[in-house]
Amino acid sequence: MSAGHTLLGRLLNRPPGLPDGPDSPLVQSVGLQVYLDNDGHVEHLSGPVRHALVQLTARPLTHLTDYLLPQSSLVVEGRPQDWQGQILDLDFFSQAGPPLHLRGWIEPRSEGWLMHLLDIGDLLSERRQAHSREQCQWLAGQIRDQLCQCSLVRLADVLGEQLQRVSQHLHIPCLAVALLDDQEQGWQIHQHYTALDAPQLWHPGQRLGTALDSLNSAAPQQLNASEQPRLSSVSGPHPGFAVPYCDARGVAAWLLCACYDARQQAPDLSDRDWQSLATAIAAPLLERLREHHHQQQLERLEILQALLGTGWWEVFDSAEVQLAKALADNLGLPATRLSLQDWFARVHPADRDELRSNLQSLQDEGSPLELCVRLQRTEEAPLMWYRVQGQALGIGAERRLVGFMLDISDIKNQQQQAAAAHARLDNLIASSPAVIYVQRYVEGALQPTFFSASLQPLLGWSLADCADGALVEHVHPDDRSVYFQRTRQLLREGTVSTRYRVLDQQGQAHWLLDEAKLLRDDLGLPVEAVGLWLDVTEATLAAEQVRASEERYRILVEDSPAMICRYRPDLTLIFGNRPLAKYLECAPEELTGVNLGSWMSDEQREAFNQRLAQLTPQLPVSTAEINLRLPGREHAWWVWSDRGVFDEHGRLLEVQAVGRDNTEVRRSQQQLTQSAKMATLGEMATGLAHEINQPLNVMRMAIVNVLKRLSNGDVQVDYLTDKLNRIDAQVQRAARVVDHMRVFGRRSEIEQQPFNPLDAIEGTLSLLSEGLRGKGVELRVKESGLQVQVRGYVDQLEQVLINLMVNARDALLSKREANRDFQPWIAVSAESDEHVVRLWVEDNGSGIDQRLLERIFEPFFTTKPVGVGTGLGLSVSYGIVENMGGRLSVRNGDEGARFCIELPVAVID
């Protein structure tokens, strides 16, 4: 008996030792027995498997190949005697659909052949499943190794490659990995792979809502093949399922498969195989992502400490303190660990004892430490303000004293500058001859919320005396209707200018000129009214007397607070009233014959004569502000109105003029401009600090390199000379920035001077360029060779450009916070023609709301949050340009706002 027959005998449970000839007795019927004639025709079928075969139509001489699948018919070609001694693997048609896999042999009988076959379908299925699982485990191991070994930079690319690998191996058209979002509030697609012929179901970052949340409570082992969910919210009408990955915190990731039926296309893979595959992808991915997040947190912490000048500290029992490296470098310390005494030595003496006491309380009682102290890096360096906070961790011998220090020098300096600016503004308001007031809009009415200190000496009332509707009680009964009409007009039109009488504390009536403006919010709703009361009692009564008689008119002219005079075209005075004589410090009778131009500079006198030359009978009136050098005063500004008197030939005979002293108002405007300039410097503090830190860093690196060379004994004169030249260049760069800050911060000149507008552009860019680039704002400067000059103040024009660029920067950074892909830029250009120079400042910040364009230059109007903007920047800028004889305008361009500064070209003799 052959070895093959012996093995088959064991498979068929044939008793050993039976003869293997044609007359061997029949064995118990198992599997399938097929009786064949010598030509391979089936004579008879027996055995339990015969019922599973397809029942063929009865016909004579049915061949064995009629029962077999086509791929099996090749095995049994020829006649039965050719098949003897071979192991036959045959696939039969079955009634259930899937073929029957049978294995057996053939033996001769007395009158034909007998084929014995056994069903080996289960054996093949188990073998196929074992192979599939082995392939799945190998694939999972390869994926895990690739994700664990790749760099963080290539993690996304490697993950995409592995998803493509799984898709191609298992023939899954759509495959994705879903993770929780940054807030861990919902699921979103982290990465996916879609075959070329498959629908696009997902995109990176796509939120899946709560479709997966219902599965979080299901344990992984409960998601068997019959219970795998179809996530319609993820894959829509396409069939699919999700495989969860769980860690200690629950379900941490999902492997999503769409357009795929696992039971039909991967029947050999069990739930555990799918879970193993999901774990191989999600486990290393989450670990690497958490590693990347941790690394980013450390980098952000180091950058934040370096930018803010902050860092941690810890005090030890050995009376030593350990500082973070960034903090030690910022303090100029040679080492990060030093004694407490050396640390206290850096603290200003005024703060040293308080810091030592609070630190002792922290050590003994665990009381939290929170203190602002001043430190000095070197004797020459300015003091730096630091916020020091600390707390005790642990108890007993394991107690640790830890905390941090934060550089708040900029904040302290800005607070001091702001306090000084507020003090100047308060003093300006308090010393103003007019009463400045604010009325809040409350339920359709205007309620007083502020009066300047000049209200008390004028009327004797206080804010409390005018609150809760009491203000109307102080208005003269005959003028209350005028006051109500004033309020209605203010709410309706936004501005008002009217006169009415108000009773003071003694009951006397004062004529007040009320000029007010209504401020509205972004929606156009009233917020408050800002205005002033000017006591015009004397002027009003004088006007009534003028109308009564000419004598009274003369008395009014003599006693009027305004300066009234008449003079010839050569500026020789013919008449002047007492106020004019008082200002010129002479008697009224001495004014006749005096030349008014003797108190003017050459430039002022030339401008004055040019203005008089433009008077005509058709346009006989001209008003301007003139500057004089009066006796005992440095400078005085008068608002001067001239009216020409002409003969019948149109020749100018004399000029009648009225003037009022505008010196205090002008100085107030200068103070306001200077305050706005100081506020601008405060806003630019961070950019200027960056501009100065850049050369300091370059010098520090050059010094470090030189010291290393010296310590190694490698001293080369050329190398040292190069480093010293580099340090000298950086010192000059920092000095230029500091010098320009000092020049910019000075008050403007008294008289306007000719200058090239490009000087103002260059000064502005020297203060802002590095700060803008540091914040990621691209600066586009169009070169132009302007050779013209304008007349004015170069520092004030520079202040206007700074205000425009800072406002553009704030708008661009606010837009980038909402859209991280946004690329901001600011463009500055200049052009000129024969008469006008135009400076353009443009950005790509999407422009200004059309409803705000008409009000953008109004005082106190701002779109910034409360406490951030004063609303004076553009208003002051508008006044500066207008004072220089120019015009400031704004419109929306193709990508953003476009401001234009137009200045007349100065004619230089």
Q: What is the pLDDT of residues 86-139, one digit of tens each?
A: 888 888 888 777 788 888 888 998 888 998 888 877 777 777 777 777 878 888
Lowest mean pLDDT: which of 167-181, 605-619, 713-727?
713-727
Report how far residue 493's alpha carbon sits from residue 175's, in angstroms, rounded to the nearest whole number: 65
The C-alpha angle with vertex 173 and arms to 168 and 179, in degrees rounded to 5, equals: 95
pLDDT at residue 13 in the model: 39
Q: Are residues 729 and 630 in the same domain?
A: no
pLDDT (0 to 100) of residue 763: 81
CATH code for the domain in which residue 518 is found:
3.30.450.20
Which range among 174-188, 470-484, 663-677 has the greatest average pLDDT? 470-484
β-partners of residue 387 are 372, 406
104/140 same-domain check: no
What CATH number is given to the structural domain containing 86?
A: 3.30.450
Which pLDDT score is estimated for 234?
A: 42
* Average pLDDT rounded to a whole number, residues 803-829: 88
pLDDT digits (tens, 9 = 90+) for 405-461: 888 888 888 888 888 877 776 776 666 668 888 999 988 888 898 888 888 888 888
In this structure, are 55 and 164 located in the same domain?
Answer: no
Residue 5 has what pLDDT?
37
Q: Does a structural domain hold residue 328? A: yes
Copy the structure tokens of residue 579.
Answer: 């106020």
Q: Are 313 and 348 found together in one domain?
A: yes
Q: Is residue 29 part of a domain?
A: yes
Please write down the HEC assignment for all residues of 840-877: EEEECCCCCCHHHHCCCCCCCCCCCCCCCCCCCHHHHH
Contacts of 441 (CB under 8 A, 6+ apart): 491, 518, 526, 527, 528, 529
- What mean pLDDT, rounded, does the chain reach? 78
Q: Which two tokens stand for residue 754?
A: 């000719």
Three-state SS for 100-150 is EEEEEEEEEECCEEEEEEEECHHHHHHHHHHHHHHHHHHHHHHHHHHHHHC
Quick one: 893 and 860 in the same domain?
yes
User: Per-residue pLDDT for 228 more than 70?
Assistant: no
Contact 336, 322 (CB under 8 A): yes
Beta bridge partners of 168: none
> Which band of pLDDT confidence, cut at 50, 70 and 90, is reported for residue 75?
low
Predicted local distance difference test score (pLDDT) of residue 24: 42
User: How many independent structural domains does the chain possess?
Assistant: 6
The last residue of one of the domains, among 661, 677, 705, is 661
Q: What is the mean pLDDT of residues 233-254?
A: 75
Q: What percent of the chain shows pLDDT beyond 70?
A: 80
Domain carrying residue 187: 129-295
The answer to the question of residue 15 being in a domain is yes
Residues 453 and 579 in one domain: no
Decide which of 223 and 238 is more confident. Answer: 238
Contact predicate 567/655, CB 8 Å: yes
- H or E element at residue 289: helix 271-308
pLDDT band, very low/low/confident/very high, at 549 (cuts 50, 70, 90): low
Q: Identify which of 218, 170, 172, 176 has the alpha carbon closest to the alpha carbon of residue 198.
A: 172
- Please indicate, yes or no, whether residues 103 and 197 belong to a single structural domain of this protein: no
The residue ranking higher by pLDDT, 216 or 712, is 712
> Does residue 217 carry a pLDDT above 70?
no
Residue 690 has pLDDT above 60, yes or no: no
Res 707: pLDDT: 77
pLDDT at 821 over 90: no
Query: Rounded to whole angstroms, how far apart are CA atoms 327 and 387?
Result: 12
- Cα 254 from Cα 188, distance rounded (Å): 10
pLDDT of residue 21 exceeding 70: no
Amino acid identity of 203? H
Q: Tell me the mean pLDDT in the region 647-664.
A: 84
User: What pLDDT is recorded for position 4?
Assistant: 38
Q: Which candidate, 415, 414, 417, 457, places its Cα nearest to that of 435? A: 457
If residue 625 lies in a helix (H) or strand (E), which one and from where to where? Answer: strand 621-628
Q: What average pLDDT does the segment 64-89 reach?
A: 77
Task: Tell me which of 342, 375, 407 is where a domain ends.
Answer: 407
Pairwise CA distance, residues 212 & 235, whole Å: 12
| Residue 156, domain member (yes or no) | yes
Neighbours of 72 (CB within 10 A): 20
Whether the predicted pLDDT of 232 surpasses 50: no
Instruction: State residue 515's pLDDT score.
Output: 92
* Same domain, yes or no: 774 and 877: yes
Q: Do 811 and 898 meet the contact criterion of CB atoms below 8 Å apart?
A: no
Mean pLDDT of 510-520: 92
289 and 326 both lie in a single domain:
no
Q: Are residues 680 and 804 in the same domain?
A: yes
Average pLDDT estimate for 341-359: 88
Query: Does residue 283 carry a pLDDT above 90?
Result: no
Is there a domain that residue 112 lies in? yes
Average pLDDT over every residue of 451-478: 87
- Best mean pLDDT range from 31-35, 630-634, 636-640, 735-739: 31-35
The answer, yes or no, to whether residue 862 has pLDDT greater than 50, is yes
Query: Strand ranges (DSSP E) for 662-761?
Result: 753-755
> How far is CA 784 from each of CA 148, 828, 829, 841, rounded to the nearest angstrom?
57, 11, 8, 14
pLDDT at 7: 35
Q: At 274, which CATH number?
A: 3.30.450.40
DSSP states of 164-211 as a string? HHHHHHHT-SEEEEEEE-TTSSSEEEEEEEE-TTS-----TT-EEETT
**pLDDT, position 501:** 93
Q: Which whole number is the average pLDDT over 310-321?
A: 83
> Would residue 553 count as lying in a domain?
no
- The reported pLDDT for the residue numbered 826 is 92
Is 555 within the bounds of a domain?
no
Determine the Cα angle at 318 with ends 317 and 324, to 5°. Answer: 85
Answer whether 76's CB lies under 8 Å from 40's CB.
yes
pLDDT at 495 > cutoff 70:
yes
Q: What is the percentage of the chain residues whose pLDDT exceeds 90? A: 8
Give the phi and the psi of residue 709 in degrees, each rounded to 5.
Answer: -60, -40
Q: Based on the domain organization, do 788 and 714 belong to the same domain?
A: yes
| Residue 652 and residue 712 in one domain | no
Residue 552 lies in a domain: no
> 828: closest CA among 838, 841, 837?
841
Contact indicator for 841, 902 with CB cutoff of 8 Å: no
Q: Which of the listed residues 101, 119, 137 is the one where a domain comes to its end?
A: 119
User: Closest Cα partner for 892 from 779, 797, 811, 775?
Assistant: 811
pLDDT-derived band at 513, boundaries 50, 70, 90: very high
Output the CA angle 42-46-48, nearest 5 degrees.
135
Cβ burial 638-659 (10 Å sphere, 16+ → b, else e): bbbebebeeeeeeebebbbbbb
125-180: per-residue pLDDT in tens?
A: 777 777 777 878 888 888 888 888 888 888 888 888 888 888 888 888 899 998 88
Of 278, 289, 286, the C-alpha closest to 176 is 278
Kindly tell me the number of DSSP H helices and DSSP E strands found in the chain.
Answer: 27, 33
* Averaged pLDDT, 605-622: 87
